[in-house]
Structure 1
Amino acid sequence: MSEIGSIIEDIDSKKWKKIKALNICKAKSLAYSLDKVVAAYRATVAELKDIAESNDATDTRKSKCKECISNFESKVNKIKQIKLDADDVDEQKDDVSSEIDRGSMFL
């Protein structure tokens, strides 16, 4: 059990070292992208909740849910393509993409 804990701590420390190494522009760019994804996620969850609570037929609700999820995925793809900082965009995009992909698993 302690081996797993040390592995997790090692991974976390590597992530924090990467985050600390970012300059202010890169950090703001990363935060902007993550904030956009969080806002899209919250809007999608609220919309899905409204669909679930509606009195529509089951088939109608299913189709609305599929449409809502596809809209969310398209928003995330657009956010992934945002380039705010010309330097090291690819490295930053990979970090953001991995965080976004991890977050989209919860839908």
Structure 2
Amino acid sequence: MIDNMEVIIFEIISQGGTAKGLAYEALEAAENEDFEKAQELLKEADECLKEAHKIQTDIIQAEARGEKTEVSVLFVHAQDHLMTAIEAKTLIEHIIKLHKKLAEK
């Protein structure tokens, strides 16, 4: 079994929350027509999401090796938190594109 599962779960939550916060900062930058900063922040958000996805993949691979993972409410919360962060970032990227198009006109 994966050691320190609670620590691992909190890392998923932390990375997801950081990514979502960075995405909203990117949106604010785009609203101020600072599209370069918006892109930088989205790139940082991507790095957080990649790290969370790596952790998630490690858990899946461990389970595939027969190491069962206890599905706790905290683990479900971490997964939910990560998925909403991914969805928020995706939507924010589209909104930023709209801001950029409007700024170009």
Per the normalisation by structure 2, the TM-score is 0.46
Where relative contact order (Cα < 8 A, 6+ residues apart) is larger, the structure is 2
TM-score (norm 1): 0.45
Say which one has the larger Rg. 1
